[in-house]
Amino acid sequence: MAIIKPFKGIRPPASLAAQVASRPYDVLNSEEARKEAKGNEYSLLHIIKPEIDMEPGIDVHEPGVYEKAMENFSRFKEKGWLIQDDKENYYVYAQTMNGKTQYGLVACASVEDYMKGVIKKHELTRPDKEEDRMKHVRINNANIEPVFFTYPAVRELDETINGVVSNNQPVYDFVAEDGIGHHFWVIDNDETITRITELFAQIPATYVADGHHRTAAAALVGDEKKKNNPNHTGDEEYNYFLAVHFPDDQLTIIDYNRVVKDLNGHTSEEFLEKLKDSFGVEKKGSEIYKPQHLHNFSLYLDGEWYSLTAKEGTYDDEDPIGVLDVTILTDQVLAPLLNITDLRRSTRIDFVGGIRGLGELKRRVDSGEMKLAFALYPVTLKQLINIADTGNIMPPKTTWFEPKLRSGLVIHSLD
């Protein structure tokens, strides 16, 4: 059963929240972060991408970069740009995109739950990326950025969070430059806090939606501190880490598409003919065509859009991995026809989040940078949860969640 706890959040005063809040560390590179934080001394990017305050081109894994993060974190607290709450609270963090709002509970998740598999994952993590975030957590002794979790929706939890939102003004309420609305409430009523904790204790499992490396790093540092403390009791703050928990019926996974540089020696005509072995192929013309259902794909090639519908026998709807369209595309097209067998390392393929729209696929092919593009029908939350429940791992670049969490609205200290 899922263990969560309230915590004394470290957060900005309301007047600075919009300036402190930033995109996550892993969605922009150093130069993009430098430009985004330019002229804004309050931006959390100074803590999560501290190389922006150092010599351009510095190795972001240099010890001095992590030390700069700690220095900037300390400065933010000294200047009152980040202030710790006096009592342990839960928080509600809501996001609005395209008129739809999703409501997440900000709470500390249990390190032990992660180690025991009560917190379930669906992606592989890389040790080098884990260690990078572990160093950041260690030196700051804090979870500076939250991770993005989901859980099977519970009616009473929905009603409780709706009550908080309906009866209280948000402490933060702003629209970021990308048009996403961010809204934040403090839950400081002890009875409400107790009931939320009890309700989560009845949930069999929670799931990492986004932020697998941050989740692993946070849990591993907590476990490390446990092993290094001869007086460990289990009540220490390092036994928990920062997460925003969203009910599964409020989230949307959007498509994650592919662009490929060449046809592996085939002519366009040969390639289209070979596709007919596994797909029903229908030419759609020059207007953008979007996949209509599971096992239906879009192909853009030579200025034309095609509908590809996978034939029976090319997929297994009873297999959590075999049912996925990313699996069908890899097994029927990328590997046998295009000789792309390692999606993580191949330089002939790139991945485009659906937030950019199918027009981005067309642009990259029309520019000559890429030869062809595939658009996929989005994975469902049910498929993600099924994969996690069965101990399977999603193929690379399968899920894309939007909107992304803003970092800096609340931080969790490990003290």
Q: Report the C-alpha gap between 307 and 14 in whole angstroms.
A: 49
Q: Is 116 in contact with 122 (CB distance < 8 Å)?
A: no
Q: Report the C-alpha gap between 221 and 229 in whole angstroms.
A: 12
Specify the pLDDT at position 30. Answer: 96
Whether residue 252 is predicted with pLDDT greater than 90 in this model: the reply is no
Q: Is 269 in contact with 337 (CB distance < 8 Å)?
A: no
What is the maximum alpha-carbon separation in the chain?
70
For residue 117, give Cα distances in angstroms to 36, 120, 174, 239: 37, 5, 36, 15
- Reported as a pLDDT band with limits 50, 70 and 90, residue 355 is confident
Specify the pLDDT at position 377. Answer: 96
CATH topology of domain 256-377: 3.30.1760
- To the nearest 10°, report the CA torsion of 57, 63, 66, 72: -80
Q: The tokens 């249990």 sit on which residue?
A: 110
Whether residue 344 is predicted with pLDDT greater than 90 in this model: the reply is no
The better pLDDT of the pair 26, 171 is held by: 171
Specify the pLDDT at position 399. Answer: 87
- Predicted TM-score (pTM) above 0.95: no
Specify the pLDDT at position 153. Answer: 96
Beta strands in 328-403 (DSSP E): 349-353, 372-375, 400-401
Least confident of 75-84, 290-299, 394-403, 406-415: 394-403
pLDDT digits (tens, 9 = 90+) for 147-172: 999 999 999 999 999 999 999 999 99
CA end-to-end distance (rounded Å), the chain? 25
Give the orientation angle of helix 190-200 with respect to helix 155-167, to 10 degrees: 150
Specify the pLDDT at position 343. Answer: 87
Q: Beta partners for 300?
A: 305, 373
Token pair for 102:
């999703």
Across residues 310-335, what is the average pLDDT?
95
| DSSP per position, 318-339 | TSTTTT-HHHHHIIIIITTTT-
Domain ranges (residues) in the chain: 4-250+402-413, 256-377
pLDDT digits (tens, 9 = 90+) for 370-392: 999 999 999 999 999 999 999 99
pLDDT digits (tens, 9 = 90+) for 116-157: 999 999 988 888 899 999 999 999 999 999 999 999 999 999
Whether residue 17 is predicted with pLDDT greater than 90 in this model: the reply is yes
- Reported as a pLDDT band with limits 50, 70 and 90, residue 57 is very high
Specify the pLDDT at position 124. Answer: 85
Q: Is 73 in contact with 408 (CB distance < 8 Å)?
A: no
Q: Report the C-alpha gap between 254 and 295 in whole angstroms.
A: 15
Candidates 413, 258, 410; CA nearest to 348 is 258
Across residues 165-191, what is the average pLDDT?
97
- Reported as a pLDDT band with limits 50, 70 and 90, residue 311 is very high
